[in-house]
Structure 1
Amino acid sequence: MSLQEVLKQALQLSTVDKVRLIQQIAPEIERELIDNPPTPRKLLWGLCADLGQAPSESEIDVARSEEWANFSREDI
Structure 2
Amino acid sequence: MSNQVIIADEVTFEQVFSLAQQLRLKDQVRLIARLAPKVEWMIEEVESATQVLTRKPLRGLLADRGPAPSVEEIDEVQHEMWATLGKSSYVNSSRCGYANNFV
Spell out the pairing of 1:1-76 with structure 2 (5 A cutoff). Answer: 9-11=11-13, 12-14=15-17, 17=20, 20=32, 23-24=35-36, 25-29=38-42, 33=44, 37=48, 38-39=51-52, 41-72=55-86, 75=102
Instruction: Compute the RMSD of aligned alpha carbons.
Output: 3.9
What is the letter of the counterpart of residue 80 of structure 2? Answer: E
Structure 1 residues 57, 15: closer, same or farther in 2, change over 3 A?
farther
Distance in 1, matches of 2:73 and 2:81, equals 12
Distance in 1, matches of 2:61 and 2:19, equals 48
Describe the SS at the equivalent of 2:59. Answer: helix
The CA deviation string for residues 11-42 of structure 1, in whole angstroms up to 9 with x for no partner, is 23116849938x52223335xx39xx544653
Distance in 2, matches of 1:53 and 1:65, equals 21
Structure 1 residues 16, 51: closer, same or farther in 2, change over 3 A?
farther
Gaps of 5+ in 2: 1-9, 22-27, 88-100
Structure with higher helix content: 1
Query: Structure 1 residue 60: deviation in Å?
Result: 0.5
What is the letter of the counterpart of residue 40 of structure 2? Answer: P
- Name the counterpart of 1:4: none
Percent identity, aligned pairs only, is: 28
Gaps of 5+ in 1: 1-7
- TM (norm. structure 2) is 0.42
Describe the SS at the equivalent of 1:45. Answer: coil
Aligned length: 65
- TM (norm. structure 1) is 0.51
